[in-house]
Amino acid sequence: MKVGVVIAAAGSGVRMGAECNKVLLSLHGKPMLQYSIELFAGLEEVSSLVIVTRDVDCDLVQGLVEQMGLNGWVQVVPGGAVRQESVLRGLRALPADTEWVIIHDGARPFVTAPVVRRGLEAVREHRAVGVAVPVKDTIKRVQDSLVVDTLPRAELWAMQTPQIFSYELILKAHEQASAQGLVATDDCALVEALGHPVHIVPGEYSNIKITTPEDLPRSDEPAVGFGYDVHRLVADRPLILGGVEIPSEQGLLGHSDADVLTHAVMDALLGALGAGDIGEHFPDTDPQYAGISSMVLLSRVMALVQARGLEVGNADVVVLAQRPKLSPWKAAIRASLAQALGVAETRVNVKASTCEGLGFVGREEGIAAQAAVLLRARRS
């Protein structure tokens, strides 16, 4: 039984309000896509796996695959303009001797092995199998705000993925649909269009598709994060702290604008998200971040916070600098950070401390910053 898997992961994240592909958003500390890859890679029945993703995300997804030690076994393939086209590209990338294909949406991270195995058992007999759950809501057909029909709920099932097929059958269904310009919202519908019956096996209600930020499971528990950063003081560089340029003989050296305080704040936010650190998100080897305003990077981190349905509760920061004297600038820094974090100024506290002449700060070799933030479920 040669089983290939196609994971469709070519969505843009537009409905998530995310700047990146939503399947790369962090979910409990790892990219959403990683959950399905781990599941299928761990099933002994599976012999090959293809991930179809947007052109622009191929490198990121390839990096994830390498990080998971699955390099060489998992193929990353650029997708098409729409999901159906992407899936067809994935199908064509599978080895020619593939007998059965599991098609799965990368935005369904909570699929479980028992569900997949149920589908694999059924497909040998039925050749086309969809995982689905009975619809709990009453479904009505509506036109121009008027109900025209109430559908019999006992007959209604909500389709999920995986959907599992004979390789030959699903390839034929996709190629025929492509030739005829038929567009469907799932792969089973293309097999139905061939006149071939599709068998249903029960899925799980927890196997949700993550489409909008509200779908992300969010904890009602608040989470704190902590950040720390240091940059070296040099001549001929501006000194920027919390997005505020401060007159100073010396400024901070770094790949970006070296805003040490904003870096500490970003690390605190990522910490509360369980999403690693800024080095992972914005590598200082990447030319696109050369000289970039750290406030721009902070807005990208805030987009991750918002995409998770969270908001900043408060932030407390401290800058450790021997010179210049920062007290005249604390109010401006507070206002700048409050705006970037989307909170009232009263929710941001800015402290400054010299180090009594001790250590690298005392010797005026560098400036350090620390930040603590609280993230909580969005209330508004």
Contacts of 176 (CB under 8 A, 6+ apart): 182, 190, 193, 194
Nearer to Mg ion, 172 or 300 (CB): 300
What is the spatial distance between Cα 373 and Cα 267, in angstroms, rounded to a whole number? 10
Alpha-carbon span 69 to 37, nearest angstrom: 11
Q: Of the candidates 257, 263, 319, 262, which has an alpha carbon nearest to the alpha carbon of residue 293?
A: 257
Site string for Mg ion, 17-56 (x = CB under 5 A): ----------------------------------------
238-277 residues near Mg ion, rule: CB under 5 A? 263
Report d(CA 277, CA 228) in Å as an integer. 10
Beta bridge mates, 31: 26
Q: Count of H helices and E strands in the chain?
A: 11, 18
Rounded Cα gap, residues 202 and 206, in angstroms = 12
- Cβ proximity to Mg ion, 57 vs 229, nearer residue: 229
Residue 310 CB-half CA count within 13 A:
29
Residue 263 or 281 with smaller CB distance to Mg ion:
263
- Pick the stretch among 5-13, 129-137, 226-234, 350-358 that binds Mg ion (CB under 5 A): 226-234
Least distance to Mg ion, CB of residue 299, Å: 17
Select 187 or 229, whichever has its Cβ closest to Mg ion.
229
Nearer to Mg ion, 186 or 229 (CB): 229
Which range of residues in 73-81, 111-119, 179-187, 222-230 is near Mg ion by CB under 5 A?
222-230
Separation between Cα atoms, residue 302 and residue 364, nearest integer Å: 32
Q: Which is nearer to Mg ion, 263 or 334 (CB)?
A: 263
Beta bridge partners of 370: 228, 318
Minimum Å gap between C-beta 332 and Mg ion is: 21
Q: Closest separation between CB of residue 256 and Mg ion, Å?
A: 7
Task: State the minimum distance, in angstroms, from the CB of residue 12 to Mg ion.
Answer: 30
Residues 283-322 that bind Mg ion (CB under 5 A): none
Compute the least distance from the CB of residue 229 to Mg ion, in Å. Answer: 4
Choose, by CB under 5 A, the member of 57, 105, 186, 229 that binds Mg ion: 229
Number of residues in contact with Mg ion under rule CB under 5 A: 2
Which positions from 89 through 108 interact with Mg ion, judged by CB under 5 A? Answer: none
CA distance linking residue 225 with residue 269, whole number of Å: 6
> Is residue 334 at the binding interface for Mg ion, with CB under 5 A as the rule?
no
Choose between 218 and 255: whose C-beta lies nearer to Mg ion.
255
Question: How far apart are CB 76 and Mg ion at their closest, in Å?
Answer: 31
DSSP per-residue codes, 108-160: -TT--HHHHHHHHHHHHHHSEEEEEEE--S--EEEETTEEEEE--GGG-EEEE
Q: Of 260 and 341, which has the nearer Cβ to Mg ion?
A: 260
Least separation in angstroms between CB 368 and Mg ion: 10
Residue 352 Cβ, how far from Mg ion at the closest point, in Å? 18
Quick check: helix, strand or coil at residue 9? strand
Q: Are 308 and 216 in contact (CB under 8 A)?
A: yes
Q: What is the smallest separation between the CB atom of 27 and Mg ion, expressed in angstroms?
A: 26
| CB of 279 or CB of 328, closer to Mg ion | 279
Shortest distance, CB of residue 164 to Mg ion, whole angstroms? 48
| Alpha carbon distances (Å) from 197 to 93, 115, 132 | 26, 20, 15
CB closer to Mg ion, 277 vs 316: 277
Closest residue by beta carbon to Mg ion = 263
Torsion from C-alpha of 208, 212, 213, 219, nearest 10 degrees: -20
Whole-number Å distance between alpha carbons of 290 and 285: 9
Chain positions contacting Mg ion, by CB under 5 A = 229, 263
